[in-house]
Amino acid sequence: MTSTLFSPITLSGVTFPNRVVISPMCQYSAPDGAASDWHMAHLGQFAMSRAGLLLLEATAVEPAGRISPLCLALYSDAQEAALARVVTMLRYAGGDMPLGIQLGHAGRKGSCHMPWDGGHGLTPEEGGWPIVGPSALPYDDRRAVPEALDEAGMERIAAAFVDAAERADRI
């Protein structure tokens, strides 16, 4: 049997040159949510791989949606400009390699230390921020109790996803 790994595939009108996908990887290297030189180097190596698709890491749609203080985000003009710089390089290095982005919201798992520092919740004294969730139940006993989302909160987050998607599309 012949492998189809390196054969093209079309999904939702997008043709990928092969079926190799670079999965999104949280890098915890985005001060104020802005893509940095780290992203240039890290993602640049994958752009040159000629994989079928490169997915950018989980990208927060609002400040409370960040996992950690150094998570990539796309809710401000400065973050959009920083990510545009990286995407410009990726398009140069990767040619016509399709790019994707994983937009996300950490919810009750947000406001945390880096994984290598234990990953537990940040206190307000450590720079932690209020988190939200579907209920007021904490993720675990090392995290803050989230504010339970009401309909207005869910609508705000939905609108933040739309705004971040529009920003990503402009890039």
CA separation (Å) from 88 to 3, 55, 171? 33, 15, 8
CA separation (Å) from 150 to 68, 75, 97, 157? 24, 21, 40, 11
CA distance 151 to 162: 17
Q: Is pTM beyond 0.85 here?
A: yes
Residue 80, token pair as written in the block: 């959009």
Task: Give pLDDT, residue 113.
Answer: 96
Which residues of the chain fall below pLDDT 50? none
Task: Give pLDDT, residue 19.
Answer: 96
CA distance 171 to 72: 15
Task: Give pLDDT, residue 94.
Answer: 75
The identity of residue 159, as a single letter, is: A
